[in-house]
C-alpha cells in the first residue's frame, strides 16, 4: 500500500524582520500556524524512480528541480545504498505563494522517508531541513510555533482550537526569486545587536491571536504590495467580507489570509468571495 504524508500550508500570522545580519540573512520573529485541510500530499509508491511524479491543480506550474528532489538527495546522503524512491506530489497549493508550499512538500518528503528508515533521528531531519531552506525546519514540525533566528529556532506555542481562516491567492505571475525581490524592496537595516528574547504570548482565543497579529504585523506586506499591487486588492476584498475580523499578507505573498470567529463564517466568507472573484484561489480552513 502506498504511504502518504500531508504537506499543510504554512501561514505566517506575523512576520517581523528585525534586521539584516552580517552573513546577509535576515533575523526574524514569526508566529506560524498550519492549515488543517489546505495543502499538498506526498505519496511514497511501490517501485523506484529517478524523478518526482506530479499531479494536482498546480503541477504544471512546477519547473525544473524542486525542493522535493533536493530533499530526496539530502536524505539519501544519510542512507548509503538507498534506491531512488518513487514519489508522487499532488500539488494543490499555488507555487511561490507565501504559504510554504515547496518547503512543506520537502518537509513531508523527509517525514515520509524517515518512516521507511527509522534509524534517521529527529536531529538528522532538522539538520537536513536547515540545509534545504529557512522554512523547511518549521514545516517538518508542522505545529504552531514562534520562529526566530533565520527560521532555525522554534518554540512551540498553543493556539486556540477555534481559529478559522480564509486563504486567498490572486494567481498572479510571480518570479521564482520573488522573496529575494521583496526583501530587497524592504531594505532592512543591519542588525546591530542580537535581539532580546521574548516570552511566548498566551493566546486563549481568536481575539488574542488577532490582537497579537495586529500589534506585530508583517514587515514584508508593504514592499510586497509595491511589487505586486494585486495584494492590495486581495486585502480590500477580505476586509469587506462579512465575518472577517482581521486580514494580512502571509510571508512574502501574494497569498493573504483573513481570520474568522467560527467555521461557518469562514466557509460563508469564502463562498461569497468566490462569487466576487471566481478566478482566485480561495480556501477556508482551520489553523493549528
| Segment 104-139, tens digit of pLDDT | 999 999 999 999 888 776 778 889 999 999 899 999
What total of structural domains would you count in the chain? 2
What's the distance, CA 256 to chain centroid?
Answer: 12
Q: Of 98, 133, 156, which residue is a domain's last?
A: 156
User: Is the bond leading into 254 cis (omega within 30 degrees of zero)?
Assistant: yes
pLDDT in tens, 158-173: 999 999 999 999 999 9
Verify that 180 and 273 share a domain, yes or no: yes
Q: What is the pLDDT of residue 1?
A: 56
Q: Answer yes or no: is 103 a known binding residue.
A: yes
Residue ranges making up the domain that contains 265: 164-286
Per DSSP, the residues of 212-241 read: HHHHH-BTTHHHHHHH-THHHHHHHHHHTS
Q: Is 236 exposed, middle or buried (0-12, 13-18, 19+ CB in 10 A)?
A: exposed
Catalytic residue among 40, 135, 178, 219: 135
Are the C-beta atoms of 173 and 269 separated by less than 8 Å?
no
143 and 33 within one domain = yes
Alpha-carbon Rg of the chain, whole angstroms? Answer: 19
Question: Of 156, 190, 220, which closes a domain?
Answer: 156
With beta carbons less than 8 A apart as the criterion, state whether 143 and 104 touch.
no
Binding site annotation covers 99? yes
Claim to verify: residue 213 and residue 151 sit in the same structural domain: no
Residue where a domain terminates, one of 125, 156, 187: 156
Determine the pLDDT at residue 2.
67
23 labelled catalytic? no
The pLDDT of residue 128 is 93
- In whole angstroms, give the CA distance from residue 253 to residue 100: 10
Q: Is 96 annotated as a binding residue?
A: yes
- Is 100 assigned to a binding site? yes
Whether residues 99 and 19 share a domain: the answer is: yes
Q: Are residues 61 and 138 in the same domain?
A: yes
Could you tell me the sign of the dihedral formed by the alpha carbons of 119, 151, 38, 99, in that order? Answer: negative
Contact of 101 with 8, CB cutoff 8 Å: no
Burial class (CB in 10 A: 0-12, 13-18, 19+), 43: middle
Distance CA 39, CA 8 (A): 4
**Known active-site residue 10:** yes
pLDDT score, position 217 = 98
Give the pLDDT confidence score for residue 64 in this predicted structure: 64
Residue labelled with grid coordinates 528532489 = 69
pTM of the model: 0.94
Same domain as 175, residue 139: no
74-82 contact pairs (CB < 8 A, 24+): 74/128, 74/131, 74/132, 75/109, 75/110, 75/113, 75/114, 75/117, 75/120, 75/128, 78/117, 78/120, 78/124, 78/128, 79/117, 79/120, 82/117
Neighbouring CB atoms inside 10 A of 34's CB total 27
Q: What whole-number distance in Å separates Cα of residue 229 and Cα of residue 193? A: 34
Closest CA to 91 of 178, 172, 7: 7
Do 131 and 172 have their domain in common?
no
Residue ranges in the chain whose pLDDT is less than 70: 1-2, 64-65, 121
**Look-up of cell digits 511589487:** 227
- Is residue 94 marked as binding? yes
Q: Residues 10, 70, 91, 178: which is the catalytic one?
A: 10
Task: Based on the fold, state whether residues 177 and 142 are members of the same structural domain.
Answer: no
- If asked whether residues 42 and 145 sit together in one domain, one would say yes
Residue appearing with cell numbers 484561489: 281
Instruction: Read off the CATH number of the domain in which 131 is found.
Output: 3.30.230.10
pLDDT of residue 149: 92
Same-domain check for residues 145 and 256: no
Q: Is 101 annotated as a binding residue?
A: yes
Same domain, 87 and 199: no
**Do both 79 and 28 map to the same domain?**
yes
Q: What is the CATH number of the domain that holds 280?
A: 3.30.70.890
Q: Is 97 annotated as a binding residue?
A: yes
Amino acid at each position: 500500500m502506498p504511504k502518504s504524508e500531508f504537506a499543510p500550508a504554512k501561514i505566517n500570522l506575523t512576520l517581523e524582520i528585525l534586521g539584516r545580519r552580517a552573513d546577509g540573512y535576515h533575523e526574524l520573529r514569526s508566529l506560524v500556524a498550519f492549515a488543517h485541510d489546505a495543502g499538498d500530499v506526498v505519496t511514497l509508491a511501490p517501485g523506484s524512480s529517478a524523478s518526482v511524479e506530479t499531479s494536482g491543480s498546480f503541477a504544471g506550474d512546477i519547473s525544473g528541480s524542486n525542493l522535493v528532489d533536493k530533499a530526496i538527495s539530502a536524505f539519501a546522503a544519510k542512507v548509503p545504498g538507498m534506491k531512488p524512491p518513487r514519489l508522487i506530489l499532488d500539488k494543490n497549493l499555488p507555487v511561490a505563494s507565501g504559504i510554504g508550499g515547496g518547503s512543506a512538500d520537502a518537509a513531508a518528503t523527509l517525514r515520509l522517508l524517515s518512516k521507511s528508515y527509522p534509524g534517521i533521528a529527529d536531529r538528522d531531519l532538522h539538520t537536513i531541513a536547515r540545509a534545504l531552506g529557512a522554512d523547511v525546519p518549521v514545516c517538518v514540525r508542522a505545529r504552531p510555533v514562534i520562529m526566530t533566528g533565520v527560521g532555525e529556532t522554534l518554540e512551540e506555542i498553543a493556539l486556540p482550537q477555534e481559529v478559522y481562516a480564509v486563504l486567498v491567492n490572486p494567481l498572479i505571475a510571480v518570479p521564482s526569486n520573488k522573496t529575494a525581490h521583496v526583501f530587497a524592496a524592504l531594505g532592512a537595516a543591519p542588525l546591530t545587536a542580537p535581539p532580546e528574547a521574548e516570552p511566548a504570548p498566551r493566546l486563549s482565543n481568536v481575539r488574542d491571536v488577532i490582537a497579537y497579529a495586529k500589534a506585530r504585523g508583517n514587515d514584508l506586506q508593504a514592499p510586497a504590495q509595491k511589487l505586486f499591487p494585486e495584494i492590495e486588492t486581495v486585502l480590500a476584498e477580505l476586509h469587506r467580507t462579512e465575518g472577517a475580523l482581521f486580514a494580512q499578507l502571509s510571508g512574502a505573498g501574494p497569498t493573504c489570509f483573513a481570520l474568522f470567529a467560527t467555521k461557518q463564517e469562514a466557509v460563508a466568507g469564502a463562498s461569497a468571495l468566490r462569487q466576487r472573484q471566481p478566478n482566485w484561489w480561495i480556501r477556508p480552513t482551520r489553523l493549528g
